[in-house]
Amino acid sequence: MRWPIFLVFLYLTLGLDLGLHGLWQVRGATPSLMLILVVYIGLSAPPLAVGWASILAGILIDLGRVAPGDGMPLDVVGPAALGLFVAGYAAIQLRGLVLRQSAFTLAVTVFFAGLMAHLLTVTLLAIRGWPISPAAAVAGWSSAEQLLGRFLDLIYTCLVALPAAKLLFRTDSLWGFTQIPGRRGR
């Protein structure tokens, strides 16, 4: 994988995620282009590159997260980073079973990887409210509301993944992905 290309796509994806957040929100649901990018890389890149790329993408998401209600930044870096790391790992595990050049494949993989990522992220953020946690609970935090909202976000993300896959597959030659043994669809 060519890291300068990844960094350009990461910058563009982060800008689109943050800049278009309010514009393409439908009934409170917002798609995650960052999750689509991580799954795309997970289906194509070597495992070590997928791990570092997903952690970097997750750290950027953590730095941009705000607490529900008050709009203040959360003072924790890690939940989204670990969540996207798990999403990248899930994509690595699924890539030998799927046809890579299919937009439907990317959307389905985004769904399963996103489920795992969101479950882990919500769990880690919910731990802040437990009595054994040294950190204070986030004001206005509800795990059930977060899980429902993130599930709706995930469905929307899967729908956005269909056209995004077509665009990403056209850039395959830029990325410098090597042929992965056992991968189909190339």
pLDDT tens profile 23-54: 888 888 889 999 999 999 999 899 999 999 99
What is the per-residue pLDDT for 146? 87
Report domain extents, the chain: 3-175
What tokens appear for 89 in the block? 């790992």
Per-residue pLDDT tens over the stretch 121-162: 888 878 876 666 556 666 667 788 889 999 999 999 999 999
What is the per-residue pLDDT for 133? 58
Per-residue pLDDT tens over the stretch 66-77: 555 444 455 677
What rounded mean pLDDT belongs to the chain? Answer: 85
Residue 108 in contact with residue 115, Cβ under 8 Å? no
pTM for this predicted structure:
0.86
Arithmetic mean of pLDDT, 82-89: 95
Radius of gyration in angstroms for the set of CA atoms belonging to the chain, rounded to a whole number: 16
Contacts for 24 with CB less than 8 Å, ≥ 6 apart: 30, 31
CA dihedral (77, 73, 148, 161) positive or negative? negative
Residue 152 in contact with residue 111, Cβ under 8 Å? no
CA angle 114, 34, 57 (to 5 degrees): 100
Q: Is 184 helix (H, G, I), strand (E, B) or coil?
A: strand
Q: Give the position of tokens 């890579």.
A: 100
Q: 1.10.1760, 1.20.272, 3.40.1130, 3.30.70: which CATH number matches 3-175?
A: 1.10.1760
